[in-house]
Chain A
Amino acid sequence: MKRGLAAYAIGIYGFLHLPLLILAIFSVNASRFTAWQGFSLHWYQAMFADRDLLESAGNSLAIAVASTALSTVIGTLAAYALWKRASNWLAGRRSSPECRCSRCFSGRFAMSTFVWECTR
């Protein structure tokens, strides 16, 4: 059963990551079509030569940094205020210290939201 579960996990991780991996591989394809025509950094050159694109990337980054800073400050204050409250309408009922889910997700989720903001 253990081996079956591991094989299954490999399959699901493949499903989650292969599409992006393939996209990344084809970003260094010389051709603009699906056929592989050899390695080339042509598209990356084109990207860094595109002023409009760089400008929008800069805008995205500025907005992401600002919103991350703001929400971290506001969120930290609120989290402190709601800390160890037995009952609260913002935190939800029964938010006991045993609620470990928040601990194990928070850091990674914060990182994810940053990237999320950055790329939306």
Chain B
Amino acid sequence: MTRLRRIFVMPAAILMLVTIAVPAGIIGVYSVLSRGAYGGVELPWTLENYGRLIDPLYGGIFVRSFALAAAATALCVALGFPLALFIARAGARKNLYLSLVILPFWTSFLIRLYAWMFLLRDTGLINTVLQSLGVIREPLPLLYNDGAVLLGLVYGFLPFAVLPIYATLERLDKSLLEAAADLGARPIAVLTRVTVPLCAPGIAAAAILVFVPSLGTYITSDLLGGSKTILIGNLVQNQFTTARDWPFGAAVSIVLMMVAVALMFAVRRRGEELL
């Protein structure tokens, strides 16, 4: 039986090795090589690509990306928790409400971002309606700024926050909540001092699931942020395309990956069961 299991797990293990470990290794090797004249990489080996990251220009990009990802994470958790609570308490309609959270995933993220562009741009629905109602004269600058990127991130990743929080809420021991109420805690106190702390694993998992993809995003900032909003993801993309500096792009990717892995380990103990 053990042998059969070993054979069964092989295809998945090989696939993960070939599609995750090998590319990550290639990126690692690229990051310590020199830049080729027309893209690609050349000898000699160097650590200069990592040294360049100390440049305040890139430091600024990292800080901005972290700030945006942190804001998106905080918003997703704060907005997602009450919704998860609502679904967990919904009784028979639980599955319907859960499906409604997942339903947006059935449409391409790209199209969902275009939907927001349709709403937010200068000639978009919101500005058109506000102008025809006479509320505003000039269109509001809703698109192509950090706020729009934040909106896109929250919109795209909110379901990732709701699902793990819901999973912990759903299997919460109800008798603990009843005990708190019996001992005189008001509903708000039960929520903040019993439910939320017991939900810590779910909240930690939610935070990771939102923060990591937010930190590396490039399509959201590309479409909603315009040219001003350069984030780490865009930096990497530029190095491999227009800038033709593959080693530097690889070094940035490696740093990004290490941050993600470090975060995973940091919250592993709390969110372990869910990640």
Residue ranges of A at the interface with B (Cβ–Cβ < 8 Å): 1-2, 5-6, 8-9, 12-13, 15-17, 19-20, 22-23, 26, 33-35, 73-75, 77-78, 80-82, 90, 92-96, 98-101, 104-105, 108-109, 111-112, 115-116, 119-120
Contact = CB atoms under 8 A, between A and B. Distances in A.
Contacts of B82: 5, 8-9, 12
Task: Name the prevailing secondary structure of the B interface residues.
Answer: helix
Contact of A81 (B8, B103, B116): B8
Task: Name the prevailing secondary structure of the A interface residues.
Answer: helix
Contact of B105 (A77, A78, A94, A116): A116
B86 A9 contact: yes
Contacts, number: 130
Contacts of B124: 34
Given A8-B86, A116-B108, A109 B272 contact: no
Given A23-B115, A34-B125, A74-B15, A82 B97 contact: no
Contacts of B274: 99, 101
Contacts of B159: 16
Given A9-B97, A104-B167, A119-B110, A16 B79 contact: no
Contacts of A12: 79, 82-83, 158
Given A9-B86, A35-B128, A17 B119 contact: no
Interface residues of B, number: 54
B12 A75 contact: yes
A98 B116 contact: no
Contacts of B164: 101
B215 to A, nearest CB: 20
Contacts of A120: 108, 110
A119 B115 contact: no
A74 B104 contact: no
Contacts of B119: 19, 22
B274 to A, nearest CB: 6
A38 B12 CA distance: 52
